[in-house]
A and B are shown apart, each in its own frame.
Chain A
Amino acid sequence: MMASSYNAKEEDGPHSGTPGLGGAAVTKSKKPDNTAFKQQRLVAWQPILTAGTVLPAFFVIGIFFIPIGIALFVTSNNIKEFEIDYTGVDADSPCYSCAKDFSWNSTTSCTCSVDFKLEQPFESNVFMYYGLSNFYQNHRRYVKSRDDSQLYGDLSALTNPSKECEPYRTSNGLPIAPCGAIANSLFNDTLELYYVDSNGTRKEIPLVKKGIAWWTDKHVKFRNPGGNDNLTVSFEGNSKPVNWRKAVYELDPTDSENNGFINEDFIVWMRTAALPTFRKLYRIIQKKSSNTATLPSGNYVLEITYNYPVLSFDGRKRMILSTISWMGGKNPFLGIAYLTVGSICFFLGVVLLIIHHKYDTRNTSADIPS
Chain B
Amino acid sequence: MLRRRLNRLLNNDERRVDSRTIFVGHRSGSPNDAIIPAKFCDNRIVSSKYTVWNFLPKNLFEQFRRIANFYFLIIFLVQVIVDTPTSPVTSGLPLFFVITVTAIKQGYEDWLRHKADKEVNTYPVTVLEDGRRIRKESEKIKVGDVVEVEEDETFPCDLILLQSSREDATCFVTTASLDGESNHKSHYTVSDIERDLESLNATIECEQPQPDLYKFVGRMHIYKNDQEPVVRSLGPENLLLKGATLKNTQKIYGVAVYTGMETKMALNYQGKSQKRSAVEKSINAFLIVYLCILVSKALVCTTLKYVWQSKPGQDEPWYNQKTQREKDTNIYLKMFTDFLSFMVLFNFIIPVSMYVTVEMQKFLGSFFIAWDKDFYDPEIKEGALVNTSDLNEELGQVEYVFTDKTGTLTQNNMEFIECCIDGFQYKHRDGSAEMDGFCVPDGPVSKPQQKAGREKEELFLRALCLCHTVQVKESTDQNDDQIDGLVADGEVSLQDQRGFIASSPDEVALVKGAMRYGFTFLGLESKNMKIRNSNNDIEMYELLHVLNFDPVRRRMSVIVRAKSGETLLFCKGADSSIFPRVRQEEVERTRTHVERNATEGYRTLCVAFKYLSAEEYRQADEGLREARLALQEREEKLMAVYNQLETGMSLIGATAVEDRLQEEAAETMEALQGAGMKIWVLTGDKMETAKSTCYACRLFQRNTELLELTVRTLEDGGKRREERLHDLLNEYHKKTVQDAPPFKGGVTRSWSCASQDYGFIIDGATLSMVLNSSSESSSHCYKNLFLQICQNCTAVLCCRMAPLQKAQIVKMVKNSKGSPITLSIGDGANDVSMILEAHVGIGIKGKEGRQAVRNSDYAIPKLKHLKKLLLAHGHLYYVRIAHLVQYFFYKNLCFILPQFLYQFFCGYSQQPLYDAAYLTMYNICFTSMPILAYSLFEQHVPMEVLLDNATLYREIAKNAMLRWGPFLYWTVLGVFHGLVFFFGVRYLFTNPALQDNGQVFGNWSYGTIVFTILVFTVTLTLALDTRHWTWINHFVIWGSLAFYVFFSFFWGGIIWPFLSQQRLYFVFANMLSSVSAWLVIILLILVSLLPEILLMLFRKRRGPNARQPSECDLLQTSRLQL
Instruction: Give A contacts to B, CB under 8 Å.
Output: 1-6, 8-9, 12, 15, 17-23, 25, 27-34, 38-40, 42-51, 54, 61, 65, 68, 72, 125, 127, 129, 135-149, 152, 162, 164, 166-168, 181, 184-185, 211-214, 216-217, 220-221, 243, 268, 271-276, 278-281, 284, 309, 312-314, 322, 324-331, 333-334, 337-338, 341, 344-345, 348, 352, 355, 359-360, 363, 366, 370
Which of A8, A125, A329 is the one whose CB lies under 8 Å from B991?
Answer: A329
The answer to whether B996 and A48 touch across the interface, beta carbons within 8 angstroms, is: no
CB distance from A272 to the nearest CB of B (A): 5
| Cross-chain pair count, CB within 8 angstroms | 349
Chain B 59-101 near chain A by CB (<8 Å), digits 1 or 0? 0000000000000000000000000010000000000000000
CB-CB under 8 A from A366, the residues of chain B are: 1113, 1116
Chain B 563-579 near chain A by CB (<8 Å), digits 1 or 0? 00000000000000000
- Sample 26 A-B pairs with CB under 8 A, ordered by A number: A2-B387, A3-B108, A4-B363, A4-B366, A4-B370, A4-B386, A5-B387, A9-B112, A19-B138, A20-B242, A22-B851, A32-B370, A39-B373, A40-B937, A45-B1029, A129-B1000, A139-B906, A167-B323, A213-B999, A214-B1070, A220-B1055, A274-B1006, A276-B907, A326-B996, A329-B998, A331-B990
CB-CB under 8 A from A345, the residues of chain B are: 1090
CB-CB under 8 A from A327, the residues of chain B are: 994, 996, 1075-1076, 1079
Which of B177, B243, B318, B853 is the one whose CB lies under 8 Å from A313?
Answer: B318
The answer to whether A25 and B986 touch across the interface, beta carbons within 8 angstroms, is: no
CB-CB under 8 A from B1094, the residues of chain A are: 348
CB distance from A326 to the nearest CB of B (A): 5
Q: How far, in angstroms, from A330 to B378 measured CA to CA in the complex?
A: 75
Chain B 363-401 near chain A by CB (<8 Å), digits 1 or 0? 100111011110110101111011111100000000000
CB-CB under 8 A from A33, the residues of chain B are: 371, 373
CB-CB under 8 A from B109, the residues of chain A are: 2, 6
The answer to whether B318 and A21 touch across the interface, beta carbons within 8 angstroms, is: no
Q: Does B592 contact A (CB under 8 A)?
A: no
Q: How far, in angstroms, from A254 to B427 measured CA to CA in the complex?
A: 118
Instruction: Give B contacts to A, CB under 8 Å.
Output: 45, 85, 105, 108-109, 112, 119-120, 123, 138, 153-154, 156, 177, 242-243, 245, 265, 311, 313-314, 317-324, 359, 362-363, 366-368, 370-373, 375-376, 378, 380-383, 385-390, 829, 849-851, 853-854, 905-907, 909-912, 937, 939, 943, 984, 986-1007, 1024, 1027-1033, 1055, 1059-1062, 1065-1066, 1069-1070, 1074-1076, 1079-1080, 1083, 1086-1087, 1090, 1093-1094, 1096-1097, 1100-1101, 1109, 1112-1113, 1115-1116, 1119
CB distance from A213 to the nearest CB of B (A): 7
CB-CB under 8 A from B383, the residues of chain A are: 30-32
CB distance from B119 to the nearest CB of A (A): 7
CB-CB under 8 A from B153, the residues of chain A are: 18
Q: How far, in angstroms, from A17 to B124 measured CA to CA in the complex?
A: 10
Q: How far, in angstroms, from A55 to B993 measured CA to CA in the complex?
A: 37
Q: How far, in angstroms, from A48 to B367 measured CA to CA in the complex?
A: 28
Apart from A22-B850, A72-B1079, A333-B987, 17 more pairs, CB < 8 Å: A1-B105, A3-B108, A4-B389, A5-B389, A21-B245, A42-B1032, A44-B1030, A44-B1033, A46-B1028, A50-B1112, A51-B1097, A221-B1055, A274-B1001, A281-B998, A312-B313, A324-B998, A337-B987
The answer to whether B321 and A167 touch across the interface, beta carbons within 8 angstroms, is: yes
The answer to whether A139 and B993 touch across the interface, beta carbons within 8 angstroms, is: no
CB distance from A315 to the nearest CB of B (A): 8
Closest to B853 in A: A22
The answer to whether B937 and A39 touch across the interface, beta carbons within 8 angstroms, is: no
| Given A136-B906, A273-B1002, A338-B1083, A27 contacting B381 (CB threshold 8 A) | yes
Which of A12, A34, A46, A220 is the one whose CB lies under 8 Å from B850?
Answer: A12
Q: How far, in angstroms, from A8 to B388 measured CA to CA in the complex?
A: 12
Q: How far, in angstroms, from A183 to B988 measured CA to CA in the complex?
A: 27
CB distance from A136 to the nearest CB of B (A): 5
CB distance from B247 to the nearest CB of A (A): 13
Which of A3, A9, A355 is the one whose CB lies under 8 Å from B105?
Answer: A3
Which of B370, B907, B1076 is the one whose CB lies under 8 Å from A139?
Answer: B907
CB distance from A111 to the nearest CB of B (A): 21
Q: Which of A5, A72, A168 has the most CB of B within 10 A?
A: A5
Which of B851, B907, B1101 is the one whose CB lies under 8 Å from A136?
Answer: B907
Closest to A168 in B: B321
CB-CB under 8 A from A141, the residues of chain B are: 320, 322, 909
User: Binding site of A, secondary structure by majority: helix, strand, loop or mixed?
Assistant: loop
The answer to whether A136 and B119 touch across the interface, beta carbons within 8 angstroms, is: no
CB distance from B471 to the nearest CB of A (A): 24
CB-CB under 8 A from A142, the residues of chain B are: 319-320, 909
The answer to whether B380 and A27 touch across the interface, beta carbons within 8 angstroms, is: yes
| Given A21-B851, A214-B1070, A216-B1066, A143 contacting B1003 (CB threshold 8 A) | yes
The 8 closest A-B pairs by CB, nearest first: A185-B319, A329-B993, A274-B1006, A22-B850, A1-B363, A313-B313, A19-B123, A127-B998
The answer to whether A68 and B1079 touch across the interface, beta carbons within 8 angstroms, is: yes
| Given A143-B1003, A281-B993, A328-B991, A181 contacting B319 (CB threshold 8 A) | yes
The answer to whether B381 and A38 touch across the interface, beta carbons within 8 angstroms, is: no
Closest to A50 in B: B1100
| Given A1-B363, A39-B371, A136-B317, A360 contacting B1101 (CB threshold 8 A) | yes
CB-CB under 8 A from B854, the residues of chain A are: 9, 22
Q: How far, in angstroms, from A181 to B823 measured CA to CA in the complex?
A: 64
The answer to whether A341 and B1083 touch across the interface, beta carbons within 8 angstroms, is: yes
| Given A309-B318, A324-B998, A370-B1116, A1 contacting B385 (CB threshold 8 A) | no
The answer to whether B243 and A21 touch across the interface, beta carbons within 8 angstroms, is: yes
CB distance from B46 to the nearest CB of A (A): 12
Q: Which of B123, B153, B320, B373 has the most CB of A within 10 A?
A: B320
CB distance from B198 to the nearest CB of A (A): 27
| Given A216-B1065, A326-B996, A334 contacting B1076 (CB threshold 8 A) | yes
Q: How far, in angstroms, from A6 to B378 measured CA to CA in the complex?
A: 21
CB-CB under 8 A from A18, the residues of chain B are: 153-154, 245, 849
Q: Which of A22, A142, A147 has the most CB of B within 10 A?
A: A22
CB-CB under 8 A from A61, the residues of chain B are: 1086
Q: How far, in angstroms, from A296 to B996 measured CA to CA in the complex?
A: 22
The answer to whether B1076 and A337 touch across the interface, beta carbons within 8 angstroms, is: no
The answer to whether A328 and B906 touch across the interface, beta carbons within 8 angstroms, is: no
CB-CB under 8 A from B1004, the residues of chain A are: 272
| Given A30-B382, A31-B376, A329 contacting B994 (CB threshold 8 A) | yes
The answer to whether B911 and A43 touch across the interface, beta carbons within 8 angstroms, is: no
The answer to whether B381 and A34 touch across the interface, beta carbons within 8 angstroms, is: no
| Given A1-B359, A18-B154, A280-B1000, A32 contacting B1075 (CB threshold 8 A) | no
Q: How far, in angstroms, from A36 to B813 measured CA to CA in the complex?
A: 40
CB-CB under 8 A from A140, the residues of chain B are: 85, 906, 909-912
The answer to whether A29 and B1003 touch across the interface, beta carbons within 8 angstroms, is: no
CB-CB under 8 A from B1083, the residues of chain A are: 65, 334, 337-338, 341
Closest to A61 in B: B1086
Q: How far, in angstroms, from A12 to B317 measured CA to CA in the complex?
A: 73
CB-CB under 8 A from A48, the residues of chain B are: 1027, 1112, 1115
The answer to whether A328 and B1086 touch across the interface, beta carbons within 8 angstroms, is: no
CB distance from A12 to the nearest CB of B (A): 7
CB distance from B1093 to the nearest CB of A (A): 6
The answer to whether B910 and A211 touch across the interface, beta carbons within 8 angstroms, is: no
| Given A138-B906, A326-B1075, A355-B1101, A1 contacting B362 (CB threshold 8 A) | yes
Q: How far, in angstroms, from A45 to B907 measured CA to CA in the complex?
A: 49
Closest to B362 in A: A1
CB-CB under 8 A from B371, the residues of chain A are: 32-33, 38-39
CB-CB under 8 A from A2, the residues of chain B are: 105, 108-109, 386-389
CB-CB under 8 A from B368, the residues of chain A are: 38, 40
Q: How far, in angstroms, from A142 to B320 measured CA to CA in the complex?
A: 6
The answer to whether B850 and A272 touch across the interface, beta carbons within 8 angstroms, is: no
| Given A40-B368, A214-B999, A331 contacting B991 (CB threshold 8 A) | yes
